[in-house]
Structure 1
Amino acid sequence: MNTSHSFDGQFEFKGRAKTWSLIMILVGVVGLLAGFLTGNGERTFADLLLNGYYISCVCICGIFFCAVQYVAQAGWSTAVLRVPQAFAKVLPYAGLILLAIIVAGLFLTHQGPNEEGKITELPYLYKLWALKGVTLKGNENYDAIITAKSGYLNKTFFLTRLVIYLGSYALIGRMLVKYSQNEDELGGMFNYNKSFKMSVLFLLIFGFTVPLFAFDTIMSLEAHWFSTMFGWYNFAALWVSGLSVITLSLILLRKAGYMQWVTDDHLHNLGQLMFGFSVFWTYLWFAQFLLTWYANIPEEAAYFYRRWEPQFKPWFWLNIVINFLAPLLTLMSRDSKRKVAVLQVACVILICGHWLDYWQMIMPGTIGVSGGTEWYNILSPIDIAVFVGFAGLFVLMFGTALSRFKSLIPKKHPLLEESLHHHI
């Protein structure tokens, strides 16, 4: 096999890719302005949270991918590591954007109905537990359930936790990138061994905190409800959507003439991971739904009851069709995972499908059925425009981060030759 590639070329982020990313950002800005100026502030904040959370999860997945490869001492993935490493470089900015959205949503208020239907001053996000007076007995907003959870669900502790989660992920991601770049300069095993140890630390922290990250950011939007499976369900969505973005990025970079050492065998491996963890996501989706339906405990069933409103029910079922049946039918066979066109379509389907999955998690508990009278108009053009804008923002940040690597491959990684000769 010919492996005589030049590893010294840098990625240049310019031309159509950069132009289109800026156009997409402009579409998102127009969508945000339309949302706020037409009195849809609550929906617009929900869209900001949805997309800020999504791109943060994709970036976290990049660090998780790198950490898993180092701890497993996997050789096949060495050739593709620069893409998830670029995601790691984007996380500090994505995390700051998410934190800014959450802080604004907590402290900016508007007039709206509380749980009892009374018009009061509501925060744009987390209106169940961040509502003024919700823990004061005798106040019209008093809620005994939220009061019992107020030791955990209060603004100071809530924001502190989010800073710790995102800060620790970003710091370790930065260290992994730094060690990889140092390895390119110095060679040897010193930086590889440091990457291994840092990856072990990341997986330990990540394993304990990723469910809490999902509980805080998404589940607490409906703070009367709880599910111990929700954190792992979100992890599965994070992993599948992140793998899809990694794979799509590699396909597009290869088409643009970069990373020609990435073969169909590498893409096959990524396709296997996408397929396998789509099934894992489905298992968690079904288990959470089935156990809640079977037990029929009111404080648990309320979550799915909202999603069975006529406006949301078709989207609820479309979610499982897109994120399970689509990868099942397109990626099950060996040949399909080795056809770049098929794999590219599967990536796009899963990226959009898990956006819909997050939309299903967020919208019923924020805007409720007020967003539209029919299922086909509950999904607003504002939702789509903001998604396009954040996609453009991610492309801009990712392309810029990738262009700052001196080489698009860890050229002195000890397992590089194994990756270049990878064949399955």
Structure 2
Amino acid sequence: MIEERLSISKRTSNRFLFMIGLGLVLMIVGIFITMNSTGHHGGGHGEEAAAAAEGGHHAITWVNRLFSNLWLNNVYFIGIAVIGLFFTAVQYVAYAGWSVPIKRILEALSAYLPIGGILLLVVFLIGKHQLFHWTDETLYIKDNANYDPILAGKQAFLNEPFYLIRMVIFVGAWIFFDWWLRKQSIGEDLNGGLEYYHKSIRISAIFLVVFGVTSSMSAWDWVMTIDSHWFSTLFAWYVFSSWFVAGLAATTLTAIYLKQAGYLKVLNSNHLHDLGKFVFGFSIFWTYLWFSQFMLYWYANLPEEVVYFQERFHGYDGHYTWIMFAILFLNFVFPILLLMTRDAKRQMIMLKIVCFVVLFGHWLDFYQMVMPGTLRGESGFGFIELGTLLFFTGIFLTVFTRKLASASLVPVNHPFLEEAVHHHV
């Protein structure tokens, strides 16, 4: 098999840079608009701020909105990046042959991890009080008016030094395993033989155990602790499923674009069919977890557990109600209806439409996980939201395409390459 090298045009690179620049400009415009609009409301907002301060919260400002969006987008894209690594490892331990044509796409997705890790650290250190209620030190002082016995009971786990140590360990472990697997992959391209493949299986097996622990705990740390009184034993699975479907959609879209650009000659409609089945199947898996979490809490009707869904369905004058129904439509109804048939899963146009919708749908899913706990009823969709989404998308696409271009798109010495060429479903 002949090597295929991706060539990224100057025009494409400039588009990504333009996306980053436009994102920054929109964020700045959004900040000025938010500052002016909050400044004009006068007394009403002053009363709201006083009430919020009494309830242990700070008044919502453009700073809260900016940091909430930075956190939301970074966690979303880190998830897609680590799914590239996770799915690569799954293919190795499953001795899968069908996935060889998409292997380099999966490897390239994880290029965002180092940048995402640094941004995660910076955003937390600067904006922790805007994002996480539990970072207020007065909550743990017994004689203080803000003392919170529930959070005081969680202090052994929810404290900043331990939180930061966990963050560095999680992202550091993912980056290390990504580097280790990529090293074997490139070595196999250069030297051939089965040694690299067998070593990759062993590395993948270790990583999957590490990932099982770190992905669960990162979901608790980075998302669930925003609503620091609330907890769900299903939540780690729920966050993983949202990341996973988004990662599968990103992989499928990339494969289609590369195929349409004349690359990935080994990729055929059978591979697309398999990718379509994964997007279809795991959209149902995500829905199953959504329903399981919702139904169990609704049925048990325990106030400390139901509050999460009360806020999102009925709270803040129904501010988030439409989002809850929108994510069910975008992430379940839409992909199920469009990818139901065998033919639909083999058509590039159908897969493209579904993947774009699913990527936005799961971004919206993270929006509803983050915003009620940070911005309460003051969130919205404006220049700050659009700007941060464009900014992060531009960064992600820049590092992703560069890594994709740094090695052959087809792993030429992969032992299952021949099987992949003749793959049929």
Normalising by structure 1, what TM-score? Answer: 0.91
Give the structure 2 partner of residue 291 of structure 1. Answer: 296
1:27 maps onto 2:22 in alignment: yes
Measured after TM superposition, the shift of residue 385 of structure 1 is 2.1
1:369 maps onto 2:377 in alignment: yes
State how far apart, in whole Å, the 2-side matches of 1:415 and 1:6 are: 15
What SS does structure 2 have at the residue aligned with 1:59? helix
Give 1:63's match in structure 2, choosing from 85, 88, 93. 85
Measured after TM superposition, the shift of residue 350 of structure 1 is 0.4
CA contact (8 A) 2:85 2:178 kept: yes
What SS does structure 1 have at the residue aligned with 2:360? helix
State how far apart, in whole Å, the 1-side matches of 2:211 and 2:181 are: 15
Give the structure 1 partner of residue 422 of structure 2. Answer: 421
Measured after TM superposition, the shift of residue 19 of structure 1 is 2.0
Give 1:11's match in structure 2, choosing from 1, 6, 12. 6
* Structure 1 residues 51-76: Cα deviation after superposition (integer angstroms, max 9, x where no partner): 00011000100001100000000001
CA contact (8 A) 1:78 1:419 kept: yes
Kindly indicate which of the two structures has a greater share of residues assigned to helix. 2
State how far apart, in whole Å, the 1-side matches of 2:31 and 2:402 are: 30
Give 1:84's match in structure 2, choosing from 106, 109, 123. 106
State how far apart, in whole Å, the 2-side matches of 1:296 and 1:31 are: 42
Give 1:146's match in structure 2, choosing from 148, 151, 158. 151
* Structure 1 residues 28-49: Cα deviation after superposition (integer angstroms, max 9, x where no partner): 2123323444341101100000
Q: Which amino acid aligns with 1:26?
A: G
Give the structure 1 partner of residue 406 of structure 2. Answer: 404
What does 1:86-165 correspond to in 2, within 5 Å? 86-106=108-128, 123-126=129-132, 128-165=133-170
CA contact (8 A) 1:56 1:98 kept: no
CA contact (8 A) 1:35 1:43 kept: no
> Once structures 1 and 2 are overlaid, which stretch shifts more, 87-96 or 137-146?
87-96
Measured after TM superposition, the shift of residue 12 of structure 1 is 1.7
CA contact (8 A) 1:254 1:260 kept: yes
Give 2:225's match in structure 1, choosing from 211, 220, 226. 220
CA contact (8 A) 2:27 2:383 kept: no
What SS does structure 2 have at the residue aligned with 1:124? helix
State how far apart, in whole Å, the 2-side matches of 1:366 and 1:293 are: 23
CA contact (8 A) 2:30 2:382 kept: no
Give the structure 1 partner of residue 384 of structure 2. Answer: 382
Measured after TM superposition, the shift of residue 6 of structure 1 is 2.9
1:271 maps onto 2:276 in alignment: yes
Q: Which amino acid aligns with 1:330?
A: L
> Once structures 1 and 2 are overlaid, which stretch shifts more, 412-421 or 89-98?
89-98
CA contact (8 A) 2:2 2:412 kept: no
CA contact (8 A) 2:68 2:371 kept: yes
Q: Which amino acid aligns with 1:48?
A: L
Give the structure 2 partner of residue 330 of structure 1. Answer: 338
Q: Which amino acid aligns with 1:170?
A: I
Give the structure 2 partner of residue 375 of structure 1. Answer: none
State how far apart, in whole Å, the 2-side matches of 1:75 and 1:143 are: 54
What SS does structure 1 have at the residue aligned with 2:201? helix
Give the structure 1 partner of residue 55 of structure 2. Answer: none
State how far apart, in whole Å, the 2-side matches of 1:316 and 1:379 are: 15
Give the structure 2 partner of residue 203 of structure 1. Answer: 208
Ranges of 4+ aligned residues in structure 1 off by more than 6 Å: none
Q: List gaps (5 residues or longer) in structure 2.
A: 36-61
> Once structures 1 and 2 are overlaid, which stretch shifts more, 96-105 or 232-241?
96-105
State how far apart, in whole Å, the 2-side matches of 1:30 and 1:295 are: 47
* Structure 1 residues 197-244: Cα deviation after superposition (integer angstroms, max 9, x where no partner): 000001111112211110000000010000000000011111100000
Q: Which amino acid aligns with 1:211?
A: S
* Structure 1 residues 90-134: Cα deviation after superposition (integer angstroms, max 9, x where no partner): 32222222222222222xxxxxxxxxxxxxxxx1221x2101311
Give the structure 2 partner of residue 120 of structure 1. Answer: none
- Root-mean-square deviation (CA, aligned residues, Å) is 1.3
1:360 maps onto 2:368 in alignment: yes
Count of paired positions: 395
Measured after TM superposition, the shift of residue 138 of structure 1 is 1.7
What SS does structure 1 have at the residue aligned with 2:404? helix
Measured after TM superposition, the shift of residue 255 of structure 1 is 1.6
